[in-house]
Structure 1
Amino acid sequence: MDRTTPRPGLRAQLLRTKPVDQIVSEAGHGTGGPASMRRSLGLWQLTALSIGASLGTGIFVVLGESVPLAGPAVVVSFVLAGFTALLSALSYAEMAGAVPVAGSSYSYVYATVGEFAGWLCGWCLLLEYGVSVAAVAVGWGQYVADVVHAVSGLTLPAWTVQPPGSGGVVNLPAALVVVGAVLLLVRGAQESAAVNAAMVVVKLVVLALFCAVAFTAFRAGNLTPFAPLGAAGATAAASRLFFSYIGFDAASTAGEEARDPRRDLPRAIVLSLVVITAIYCLVALAAVGARRWTWFDGVEVALVDILREVTGQTWVGVVFSAGALVSIASVVLTVLYGQTRILFSMARDGLAPALFGRLDRRGVPVLNTVVVGGAVAVLAALVPLGALADATSIGSLAAFALVNVSVVVLRRTRPDLPRTFRVPLFPLTPLLGAAMCVLLALNLGTGTWIAFGAWTLVGVAVHLGYGRHRSRLAVPAPVPAREPR
C-alpha cells in the first residue's frame, strides 16, 4: 500500500515558494478543459493598457480633492508620487521580464517570498483593483451628471447619482459603466484592447485641449505661496495622488496574452509611467496656474469648471466632459481586466475557488469576469469616492512594496534566471522603492489603516482556513512503498 509524505508544518506551508519554471510552464492554462488564453497583444496595446488603467479619475477628479491639501505644490506631489511609482515600476519591469505570467505581483511574490506573502499580496491586489474600479466608476458618474446638466439643463436626482452618505441612495451611472466594461471583456482580450487603444487616444486629446486653454489664463501669482501647507501638505497630497498611478502595472497582468511578454512587458510598464507622469504634471501646473489653490476646495469637476470660466463657453466644458467620460471608462475597462487575470492566477494555484480559473472555448475567464464585475458594480453604486481612493492607495502601496522585495530575493535565489530588464542601481532602487511605499502609506488616515488592517485579517483567516489546504503545492507527493522483506 502506497504512503504519502507527512504534511509540512504551518511555517513550512506559509513559506513554501512556487518554482518560477512551474509558474511559466502553466501560463495560459485554466483550471479545467483544454482551452487556453490567446497571445494577441503587442507593445502598443500593452502600453495603452497601462496608460488606460492609470490616466483617468486621478487627474479628472482626484486632482480637485488634492489641491486643497498641498496648494500649488500639488505639482510636486505628482512628482513625488510618480517617483515612488517609478521605483516600483522598475522592479515590476524586471519581474515581468523574468516571470511573464498573468498573476502580476501576486505571482512574483509567490515565487520569491513564499505562499503566505504571495496570498496577502494577491489579497491586497483584489482590494487595489476592485476598489479602484469602483472609485473610478464613481468619478465617471460625476461627469455624467455634469454632461446631462450642461446639455439639457436637467439635474439628475441626487438619489440616482450619489451613494448613501453623500446625499443619495445609489450611484446608477457608476454601476452601469462597470456593467458595460464586463460586457466588453467577456468578448475577449484582443477586442477589449482595441477599444481601450481608441479610448486612450481620446483622453490624450481632451487633456491636450485642457492644457491649451488653461495656459492662456496662467498667472504666476497663483503659484504663490507655492506650498502654503508645507512639506506635510505636499506629502499628504502625494499619498492620495498615488491612487492616480496604480494602473501602470496593468500590462503585467497581461503576461499570458502578450505576443512577446519578456520583451514587451518591461518596455510597456516603464514607457507608460513616463508618459503618465509627464501628463499629470503638465495638467496640474496648468490648473493651479489658471486658478488660485483655494478655488479648488469643494469643486467636484475642477477641470471642466476652469474651461468654462476661461472660455466663457459652455460647449467647451461639454466636449471636455464627454472626453472625460470616455477616458474614465477606459480605466474601468483595463483595471477590471487586470483584477480578473490576477484572480485567475490565484484560482489556478488553488488559493481561490476553481470557478475563477475556468476559461471558455475562446480562452476568456467569463464566469470570473461576471462575478467580479457584479461585486464591483455594487461597490461603485454604494460607496463614496474619497474612501475608495484612500483604500485603493494603501492596497497598491502594500503590493508594490512586496514586489520591490521580490526583486532582491529573486536576484539572490535565481541569479541564473534570464532577465530582459534589470533594475538599475541594484539593490538601492528596489529597497528605496519599498521604503517610499511605506512612507506614503504612513501618511494615509487612521480610518484607512483600520480598514486595511481589517481586510488583511480577513485575508489571513481565508488563507489559513481555505487556501493553505487547497494550494496545489499542498498536495503531498507520493512515496514509493517499501518492498516486503
Structure 2
Amino acid sequence: MIFGRVKPLDAILATAEKKSLHRSLGAFQLTMLGIGAVIGTGIFVLTAEAAQKAGPGMMISFIIAGVVCAFAALCYAEMASMVPVSGSAYTYSYAVMGELIAWMVGWALILEYAVAAGAVSVGWSGYVIGLIEHTFHVDIPASLVTGPFDGGLINLPAMLIAALVTWLLVIGTKESATVNAILVAIKITALTVFIILAVPVMNSAQFSPFAPTGVIGVSMAAASIFFAYVGFDAVSTAAEETKNPQRNMPIGLIGSLAICTIFYLLVAAGVIGAPGLSTQPVTDAMGHALEPGSRELAAQCASRAAEGFKDVVCSKEALAFTLREIGWPQIGNLLGLAAGLALPSVILMMMFGQTRIFFVMSRDGLLPAAFSKIHPKFNTPHVITIITGIAVALFAAFFPVGQLANISNSGTLFAFAAVSIAVMVIRKTDPTRKRPFKTPFVFITAPIAILGCLYLFISLDHKSIILFLIWAAVGLLVYFGYSRSRSHVGRGIVDVSEHQAYEELDPPVPGTH
C-alpha cells in the first residue's frame, strides 16, 4: 500500500537524538527568526496588490489571512514540538500519512519556495528602481524593469538579484547570525518609522468606501496577502537547534505571527489613510476592478498618472511612495534602501529552503541522486542550486509579483492543510506518544485550519488554481513514473546518514554561534 510507506517516527527521532544539532535557540531567538522570515515582500509590495483587489477592505484581508495562519501555526506547533527535526511539512507528512502524501507536500513546497523567491526578487526590483530614480533623478525605461504582463519586456534587476543569490548559495556563503539579526532590525525599523510617520496623519475619509469590491474582493485580497505571512513555518525547521522545543517552538511560531499581524494592520492603515492618495481600485470603463499585474492596469495607471492622480495601487513600492507623497521624500528613499538591503536575505532563505527540500527528497530516493550531489570544493548541493536559480531568475524576469505570490500561495496552502490533517491523524494512530505541546481542541482547530486554507485557495485567481492543478498532475506522473520504484522506504533501505543531509545544509540561525 502506498499509504503504508511511512518513515517510522521513532526512527526519525532516534536519528535526531543520535546526531543532533547543537540546541541553543530560546523563545526570543525563535520569534526573531520567525519575524525575519515573515516580514518581506508581502508587506512591502503586496499592499498595492491588495488595495487593487479590496480597497481599504484589505484591512479585513490581513486579519483573515492572519487568523488562518494562526490556526495552522497551532497545528505546526504540535508537530514541531513532538517531532523536533528538520524537514517541516515534508517530514511530518512522511512520518504520519505516508510517502505519496509526503511527495505531494514536497512537490507543493517547490512552488512555495522557488516561486516565492521569484516574487521577492520582483519586489526587490520595484523598491531599488524607485530608489535609484528618485535619488539620482533618472528615468529608467519600464521595458527593462517590468515583465511582459506589466507592459514591459523583461525585469532585469529581478533576474540579476536572483542570479547573485544563486551564486552566493553555490559558493557556500551563509548568512551569519549577526547579519541576519541586522537585516531583521532594518526591516522592523523601516516599518516602525513608516507607522510613526503615516498613522498620525491618517484621514478617515480615505477609508470610504471601505469595501468597494465587496466580500469577493476582500477574499481575493486575503488569498494574496497570505503571502505576507509565509515564512512562519521556517521556525519549525529550526526545531533541532531549539532549547526546550516543547515550550519554545509554540511561543516562537505564534509570537512571531502575532507581532507581524499588528505591524501589518498598522502599516495598512497608514497607507490607506494617507491624505491625497487613493487606495481605491483602478477600474475599466464598465467600473470593474482591473486585474493586478495586467497590461490593462499598467496602461490605465499611466494615463491616470498623466492626469495627476496618485494611486497607491499603481506603485511598485507602495510604502516608499506613500512616505514621499505625505512629505517625507528622503525617509521614503531610506525605506526603499532598507527594502533593497533586507529583501535579498529573504530570497536567499527561500532558495535555500527550495534546495533543502529537493536535497532531502533526493536522499530519500524520490528524486535523482544527482540532485544531492555535493560540490567538491564548496561543499554545497551545486547542481540543484543552479537549477533552482535558473528557474527563479526566469520567474522573476517575466512574471508580475502578484501572480507569483498567488502561485506560491497555492503550494503553501496545500502544505499547511496537510500538516493540519497530520495532527489529527497521529492523534488517532499514535495516541500514547508524548506531546509536549498539544494543539488546543485539535478536532476543532485543525478542521478550521483546513477549511481556512481551502477558503483562501478557492479565493485565488483562476490562473493560479489551474497552474497548481497542472503542477500536481505533473507531480503524480513523476511519482508513479520514477519516484515510487526508486524510493528508499519502498525498497526497504534505511539511510543511516540521512540526518547528515540536514546538518550539511542547515544555515546558521540567530543564536547558533
User: For the superposition of Structure 1 and Structure 2, which TM-score range results when normalised by the shorter chain?
Assistant: 0.7 to 0.9
2:117 aligned residue (130, 133, 144): 133
What residue number does 1:42 align with?
25
| Deviation per residue, 1:85-108 (Å, 9 max, x gap) | 111011111111112222211111
1:17–1:115 CA contact under 8 A, matched in 2: yes
| CA distance in structure 1 between the partners assigned to 2:103 and 2:433 by the alignment | 23
The 8 Å contact of residues 23 and 240 in structure 2, kept in 1 or not, is answered as: no
Distance 1:347 1:335 in 2: 18
8 Å contact kept, 1:98–1:419: yes
- Higher alpha-carbon deviation: 197-206 or 65-74: 65-74
Cα 1:21–1:414 change in 2 (3 A) is same
Structure 1 pair 99/71, CA: closer, same or farther in 2 (3 Å)?
A: same
Structure-2 change in CA distance of 1:143 and 1:271 (3 Å)? same
Q: Partner of 1:431 in structure 2?
A: 447
**Structure 2 residue 328 is the aligned partner of structure 1 residue 339:** no
Q: Does 1:450 align with 2:434?
A: no
Seen in structure 2, the aligned counterparts of structure 1 residues 190 and 154 have a Cα distance that, compared at 3 Å, is closer
The one-letter code of the counterpart of 1:42 is L
Return the alpha-carbon distance in structure 2 between the equivalents of residues 260 and 177 of structure 1: 38
- Partners in 1 of 2:489 and 2:182 — Cα distance? 42
**Residue 100 of structure 2 aligns to a residue in which SS?**
helix
The partner residue of 1:293 within 279, 283, 286 is: 279
- The amino acid of 1:268's aligned partner reads G
Contact 2:148 2:399 in 1 (8 A): yes
CA distance in 1, matches of 2:73, 2:173: 23
Q: Which residue of 1 aligns with 2:385?
A: 369
d(CA) in 2 for partners of 1:310, 1:123: 45
SS of aligned partner of 2:150: coil
Shift of the alpha carbon at 1:296? 2.7
CA contact (8 A) 2:118 2:395 kept: yes
Show the counterpart of 1:17: 6
- Aligned-pair CA distance for 1:210: 0.7
Distance (Å, rounded) in 1 between the aligned partners of 2:164 and 2:238: 21
1:307 Cα deviation from its structure 2 partner:
0.5
Equivalents in 1 of 2:279, 2:5: separation in Å?
51
The separation in 1 between residues aligned to 2:392 and 2:176, in whole angstroms, is: 18
| Mapped contact 2:127–2:316 kept (Cα < 8 A) | no
SS of the equivalent of 1:51 reads helix
Q: CA deviation at 1:136?
A: 0.8
Residue 133 (structure 2) aligns with: 149
Q: TM-score, normalising length from structure 1?
A: 0.88
Question: Is 1:52–1:327's contact at 8 Å kept on the other side of the alignment?
Answer: no
- Rounded to whole Å, the distance in 2 between the matches of 1:200 and 1:38 is 24
Per-residue Cα deviation, 1:151-206 (whole angstroms, up to 9, x for no partner):
11122333432223334333222123233434554576974443222111000001
List per-residue Cα deviations over 1:49-85 (Å, max 9, x = no partner): 3322221111111111111322222111100000001
Equivalents in 2 of 1:171, 1:293: separation in Å? 25
Using the TM superposition, give the Cα deviation of residue 449 of structure 1 relative to its aligned residue in structure 2, in angstroms.
1.4
State how far apart, in whole Å, the 1-side matches of 2:169 and 2:16 are.
20
Counterpart contact for 2:3–2:97, Cα < 8 Å: no
CA change 1:165–1:233 in 2 (3 A) is: closer
The answer for the alignment partner of 1:6 in structure 2 is none
Match of residue 413 from structure 2: 397
Kept in 2: contact 1:143–1:325 (CA 8 A): yes
Root-mean-square deviation (CA, aligned residues, Å) is 2.6
CA contact (8 A) 1:200 1:330 kept: no
Does the alignment pair 1:69 with 2:53?
Answer: yes
Q: For residues 450-469 of structure 1, what are the structure 2 equivalents within 5 Å?
A: 450-469=466-485
Contact 1:71 1:226 in 2 (8 A): yes
Amino acid at match of 1:288: I
Would you say the 8 A contact 2:71–2:448 is kept in 1?
Answer: yes
1:30-53: CA deviations, max 9, x gaps? Answer: xxxxxx885476245543333222
Q: Secondary structure at the match of 2:231?
A: helix
Q: 2:204 aligned to 214, 220, 241, which one?
A: 220
> Is residue 102–residue 342 contact of structure 1 (8 Å, CA) maintained in 2?
no
Residue matched to 1:121: 105
Q: 1:248 pairs with 216, 223, 232, which one?
A: 232
1:95 to 44, 54, 79: 79
1:280 aligned residue (260, 264, 272): 264
1:102-141 CA-to-partner distances (Å, cap 9, x unmatched) read 2211111111122111110111111011101101111101
Deviates more, 1:86-95 or 1:334-343: 334-343
1:397–1:437 Cα contact (<8 Å) kept: yes
The 1:210/1:270 distance shift into structure 2, 3 A limit, reads same
**Equivalent position amino acid for 1:13 in 2:** I
CA distance 1:432–1:269, change in 2 (3 Å): same
Does 2:418 align with 1:410?
Answer: no
Does residue 168 (structure 1) correspond to residue 161 (structure 2)? The answer is no
Distance 2:196 2:351 in 1: 32
Asked if structure 1 preserves the Cα contact closer than 8 Å seen for 2:312 and 2:322, the reply is no
Seen in structure 2, the aligned counterparts of structure 1 residues 46 and 182 have a Cα distance that, compared at 3 Å, is farther
Give 1:59's aligned residue. Answer: 43
Range that drifts further, 150-159 or 394-403: 150-159
C-alpha deviation, 1:430, in angstroms:
0.7
Gaps of 5+ in 1: 1-11, 30-35, 479-485
1:322-337 to 2 correspondence within 5 Å?
Answer: 322-337=337-352
Q: Distance in 1 between matches of 2:249 and 2:129?
A: 37
Residues 174/24 of structure 1: CA separation in 2 closer, same or farther (3 Å cut): farther
Q: Residue deviations 1:330-358, cap 9 Å, x none?
A: 32122222222222322222112234445
Aligned to 2:308: none
Distance in 2 (CA, whole Å) between partners of 1:252 and 1:179 is 28
Q: Is the 8 A contact 1:250 1:335 kept in 2?
A: no
SS of the residue corresponding to residue 165 of structure 1 reads: helix
Q: Distance in 2 between matches of 1:466 and 1:376?
A: 24
* Distance in 2, Cα, partners of 1:264 & 1:175: 38
> CA 1:133–1:152 in 2, change beyond 3 Å: closer, same or farther?
same
